[in-house]
Amino acid sequence: EDQVTQSPEALRLQEGESSSLNCSYTVSGLRGLFWYRQDPGKGPEFLFTLYSAGEEKEKERLKATLTKKESFLHITAPKPEDSATYLCAVQSYQTGANNLFFGTGTRLTVIP
Amino acid sequence: EAEVAQSPRYKITEKSQAVAFWCDPISGHATLYWYRQILGQGPELLVQFQDESVVDDSQLPKDRFSAERLKGVDSTLKIQPAELGDSAMYLCASRERDSYNEQFFGPGTRLTVL
């Protein structure tokens, strides 16, 4: 059965204080790993897709990396507007139907 | 920029009443998903459509939930009767046909059952 565990559950950073969010996964054949950002009361907003170990993608202050067991979302010099919940989701070949299996998210707060 | 539309944004209802949510996916997206997200958790898939056909509804509580996408474009999710435990955010997402790429989510409908 697919499993996704995100840590920490919550993270408070000072503005400019870099850190990383972790997503550990167990799937039978990873098709893709997805990162989304979700603001309170809104739908998830797509950030990145990673398909194979060693792959990296960047967008502004965010960088996502992937290994065979986990993914990291690195946040460099965060700003208050980066405050949100960051969701990780996996898509496996076994699950089929291209479904996404989500973790519970990391709630990030960036303090000015 | 194309977006997934959902309505209403908020719905308050009493237990045992019927509720319905509407979703209009991004134009041309053949695949449509309905998710339920309980506060503090990640979204969980309820049903997936490819055009007008249900591809996966294994997690849909069929005794009270129903979903349709009659013309393969917009979709409706219905709950009848609503229960207290149904209070959650209901999210719609869409994706291009035959793509393993990202799903695009709408703003969601926040349901509160009293």
Query: What is the model's pLDDT at position A96?
Result: 58
> Would you say residue A97 has pLDDT above 60?
no
Q: Are strands B109-113 and B104-105 parallel, antiparallel or unpaired?
A: unpaired
Instruction: Please identify which residue in the block is written with the tokens 């950002």.
Output: A37
Q: Among A53-57, A95-99, A104-108, whose mean pLDDT is lowest?
A: A95-99
CB-CB under 8 Å, B110 with A43: no
Tokens, residue A39: 């603001």
Q: What is the pLDDT of residues B6-62, one digit of tens each?
A: 999 999 999 999 999 999 999 999 999 999 999 999 999 999 999 999 999 999 999
Q: Do A31 and B107 touch (CB under 8 A)?
A: no
What lies within 8 Å, CB to CB, of A77 at 6+ separation is A16, A17, A18, A61
- Note the pLDDT tens digit of each residue in A25-41: 998 888 899 999 999 99
Cβ-based contacts of A104 with chain B (< 8 Å): 40-42
DSSP string, A42-91: S--EEEEEE-STT-EEEETTEEEEE-SSEEEEEE-S--GGG-EEEEEEEE
Backbone angles phi, psi at A107, to 5 degrees: -90, 110
CB contact under 8 A, A43 and B56: no
N-term to C-term CA, chain A: 41
Mean pLDDT score, A60-85: 97
Q: What is the per-residue pLDDT for B16?
A: 96
How confident is the model at residue B98, as a pLDDT? 66
Q: Which residues of A lie closer than 8 Å to B, measured between beta carbons?
A: 4, 31-32, 34, 36, 41-46, 49, 87, 89, 91, 96-100, 102-105
pLDDT in tens, B89-108: 999 999 987 666 789 999 99
Q: Give the residues across from A108 on adjacent strands.
A: A11, A84
Contact A44 B91 (CB under 8 A): yes
